[in-house]
Amino acid sequence: MSERTLTHLVTNHEVLNVEDWAEIRRLHRAEGMPIRTIARHLQISKNTVKKALATHEPPKYRRAPRGSAVEVFEPAIRGLLAEFPDMPTTVIMERVGWTRSRSVFFVRVAQLRPLFKPPDPASRTEYQAGELAQCDLWFPPADIPLGFGHVGRPPVLVMVSGYSRIITATMIPTRQSPDLLAGHWVLISGGRECRECWCGTTNPPSAGGGAGNPG
């Protein structure tokens, strides 16, 4: 049986190195030495032996994470933001007495500020897939050949999905309802039918054949 002892003293503030960990496992598994005997033989505690046998990976030294210096100032930062959500970061820095890195302080204030600012009433609205599409008419700024020597500027029906923001478009002959409906079917073919929101037109087209006025 080996008479090898530990290569270093094991205390509450140290961990076994890889060689010691391997030796404990060898004595127990290869030589069948009991935990108590290993502890006495290597002059370590039984708990240390048990931990070495319970782990499946060699021990690694892990340094405890260090907290950021700005954490001490966070309660004061939160207090100022709760009362003045739009207070400039430089003013907050002066109020709390921060004298260290500006970048660290600015990052933390940027993380905390949204927690105290009221929601923007004009914030982006979320839609479900296939729920809504925004429609509009676009008129090309150039003459388009229509055949037989004729040119014109027929409208382009544009549709934007409220969910995916995908833009589709198709050119239609006129702004009359039959052509608009046909254009809609072209754009939504293969997808889900959805509500339509007409923007940029004073009067949305009606089923009676009236034409909307371009905005």
| 3-state class (DSSP) for residue 168 | strand
pLDDT digits (tens, 9 = 90+) for 9-55: 444 444 577 778 888 888 888 888 999 998 888 888 888 888 888 88
**pLDDT at 76 > cutoff 90:** yes
Q: How far apart are CA 52 and CA 16, in angstroms?
A: 8
The pLDDT, as a whole number, for residue 22 is: 85
Q: How far apart are CA 129 and CA 33, in angstroms?
A: 66
**pLDDT at 196 > cutoff 60:** no
pLDDT digits (tens, 9 = 90+) for 3-15: 444 444 444 444 5
Count CB-CB contacts under 10 A for residue 137.
21
Q: Mean pLDDT over all residues of the chain?
A: 77
Residue with tokens 């048990």: 50
Q: In terms of pLDDT, which residue wins out, 136 or 124?
A: 136
| 3-state class (DSSP) for residue 197 | strand
Q: Are 77 and 108 in contact (CB under 8 A)?
A: yes
**pLDDT at 88 > cutoff 90:** yes
The pLDDT, as a whole number, for residue 195 is: 56
Q: In terms of pLDDT, which residue wins out, 212 or 40?
A: 40
- In percent, the amount of the chain with pLDDT more than 90 equals 16
Q: How far apart are CA 168 and CA 120, in angstroms?
A: 29
Average confidence (pLDDT) over 133-140: 86
pTM confidence score: 0.35
**pLDDT at 78 > cutoff 90:** yes
CATH class of 1-62: mainly alpha
Q: How far apart are CA 120 and CA 133, in angstroms?
A: 23
